[in-house]
A and B are shown apart, each in its own frame.
Chain A
């Protein structure tokens, strides 16, 4: 299965990466090369095989339901490109 320019633009949009037409065109053969190569996995007989979920057997842990962190608002905001009044600031969103 090969992807076309329209698909590349769709993937870019899903990825939230803006691309110019020229960039998208350059990506068509690149992505097709890689996808064509990984498609060889289709030939592997995987009947009865469960997809791997953990490489090393481990169990999910529960912790006590108590506050273990918090009160670090200024630290959380310290690297924000724009923070105002103790919040992250973003451009106006109009739906």
Chain B
């Protein structure tokens, strides 16, 4: 345990170490919160936060210290400060979804997931930047500027790299030790791809585990909240707090929350790992491919048996996603009308319809407009069946692929992203090239399955690359356990050199 006067060491601790050290009296919650607040304040160059809330972190820490002194029962996250993706509505704290549209929006209510985290004793360090309305894979669509990854290539250059998206503020902040953990949301890979880009872990649970209530909606049949942190154990700890039935979300699963942390085990004897051949297309990056092979060896070493499986509709997952997600987005984002909340743009003499159109033209960024328009088109009269109904049928086939594969295995191992992080600006000109980032993460989203990203090592440029575990519906435990087996064998301890 670190000396309590060594502030920098406190920010190197994991969630589990902070929780346990605080309980053991090695340090106070206030010391921890102050140390992270200082790191946040000193990291403006990363642009990971839209709003910083050091006072909230201290308030929760003081409550934890007081509860401990009084001998009261401590919440599961007492003494642990975290970052909150700015897609979760937080009562009294601006929530923007990284858009101009919601600039100045201060919710009068708390999202279910963030409320559960505060109730468990966690404190909020601030609201984390993201791609606008969670639409993006590089964090270049935020109205509040790009988030910068703390990682740099080892080529001596200092090109600013993408932290991944959409949960790029979360991934950047965690890997730079601005917070020990953060919330993310994942619609097509928005937890897993940024985790892979920054050498941290993150899990998207089964659709319906975490309530969507109070999360700014993007594509409701796909959106799932989940934790991001540096270790598998920390993800298990947070996910237990974030999950659970919520009558306010009609798709919330009415199931008890398993004890994922207590049941963590990296012994995979008796487990069969499926290797889907469609995830190794011609031209797959050689280093990503080699990392996948190493992952296979690691899981064998943990006692698992490896079997080849086929997910024949994989190549249709991305186009399916880019019909369904924009369709749902065009419907969800219809609420931004300049009447009830957010920005209003009222040109001189404008009527109601003109106000709607002007407000939405000024409030949405280019990628958001692009997706709303695609969604509007595929849902419009005469095209609905050709696009949307067809996509929902292909989606059913993609889900069936997984069901058939899971008759032969208990989990799947794949790469998380087709490459390591890329430079900001590199893929922005071509929306399609950007969409391809999610090629390995989108299929599990379409099928609602739990999936986790875990770091495997560094590529030749010195950047993190990772592996993805996909599990059966509701079997987060196997996903966490296999990820733990990889984590133990990968021994990933690399961290970005501080330049910010």
Cβ of A22 within 8 Å of any chain B Cβ, yes or no, is no
Across the A-B interface, the 7 shortest Cβ-Cβ residue pairs? A55-B448, A51-B392, A81-B344, A79-B341, A18-B357, A46-B393, A75-B108
Q: Which residue of B lies closest to A89 (CB)?
A: B339
Q: Which residue of A lies closest to B107 (CB)?
A: A79
Are A91 and B355 neighbours in the complex by a CB distance under 8 Å? yes
> Considering the complex, which residues of chain B in the window 288-325 have a beta carbon less than 8 Å from any beta carbon of chain A?
313, 316, 319-320, 322-323
> Considering the complex, which residues of chain A in the window 1-56 have a beta carbon less than 8 Å from any beta carbon of chain B?
3, 7-8, 11-19, 27, 30-31, 33-35, 37-42, 44, 46, 49-56
- With contact pairs A49-B396, A90-B339, A93-B351 given, residues A44 and B221 touching in the complex (Cβ less than 8 Å): no
Kindly list 11 other residue pairs between chains A and B, CB separation below 8 angstroms, not including A41-B319, A76-B108, A79-B340.
Answer: A13-B357, A16-B357, A18-B360, A31-B370, A33-B431, A41-B390, A51-B393, A75-B108, A79-B104, A90-B339, A91-B352
Give the CA-CA distance A19 to B346 in the complex, in Å.
Answer: 15
CB A17 to nearest CB in B, in angstroms, measures 5
Candidates B323, B374, B390; contact of A31 at CB < 8 Å: B374
Cβ of A85 within 8 Å of any chain B Cβ, yes or no, is no
Give the CA-CA distance A13 to B387 in the complex, in Å.
Answer: 20
Are A11 and B380 neighbours in the complex by a CB distance under 8 Å? yes
Are A81 and B338 neighbours in the complex by a CB distance under 8 Å? yes
Give the CA-CA distance A66 to B456 in the complex, in Å.
Answer: 53
Chain B, interface size category, equals 35 or more
CB A86 to nearest CB in B, in angstroms, measures 14
Which residues of chain B are near A38, meaning CB under 8 Å? 319, 322-323, 378, 387, 391
Q: Which residue of A lies closest to B333 (CB)?
A: A15
Give the CA-CA distance A8 to B342 in the complex, in Å.
Answer: 26
CB B252 to nearest CB in A, in angstroms, measures 8
Are A56 and B396 neighbours in the complex by a CB distance under 8 Å? no
Are B313 and A44 neighbours in the complex by a CB distance under 8 Å? yes
List A residues at the B interface (Cβ < 8 Å): 3, 7-8, 11-19, 27, 30-31, 33-35, 37-42, 44, 46, 49-56, 58, 60-61, 63, 72, 75-76, 78-82, 88, 90-94
Which residues of chain B are near A17, meaning CB under 8 Å? 357, 360-361, 364, 369, 372-373
Which residues of chain B are near A91, meaning CB under 8 Å? 346, 350-352, 355
Are A11 and B396 neighbours in the complex by a CB distance under 8 Å? no
Q: Which residue of A lies closest to B377 (CB)?
A: A11
Which residues of chain A are near B334, meaning CB under 8 Å? 16
Which residues of chain A are near B394, meaning CB under 8 Å? 41, 44, 46
Give the CA-CA distance A30 to B131 in the complex, in Å.
Answer: 20
Are A40 and B316 neighbours in the complex by a CB distance under 8 Å? yes
Cβ of B376 within 8 Å of any chain A Cβ, yes or no, is yes
CB B28 to nearest CB in A, in angstroms, measures 36
Candidates A8, A13, A31, A50; contact of B396 at CB < 8 Å: A50
Cβ of B206 within 8 Å of any chain A Cβ, yes or no, is yes
Are B108 and A3 neighbours in the complex by a CB distance under 8 Å? no
Candidates A8, A40, A90; contact of B355 at CB < 8 Å: A90
Which residues of chain A are near B163, meaning CB under 8 Å? none
Cβ of B207 within 8 Å of any chain A Cβ, yes or no, is yes
Q: Which residue of A lies closest to B446 (CB)?
A: A55
Are A34 and B392 neighbours in the complex by a CB distance under 8 Å? no
Give the CA-CA distance A44 to B357 in the complex, in Å.
Answer: 37
Give the CA-CA distance A14 to B390 in the complex, in Å.
Answer: 22
Q: Which residue of B lies closest to A8 (CB)?
A: B373
* Between-chain CB contacts (< 8 Å), 10 pairs: A13-B357, A16-B334, A17-B364, A30-B370, A40-B316, A41-B391, A49-B397, A56-B207, A78-B108, A88-B339
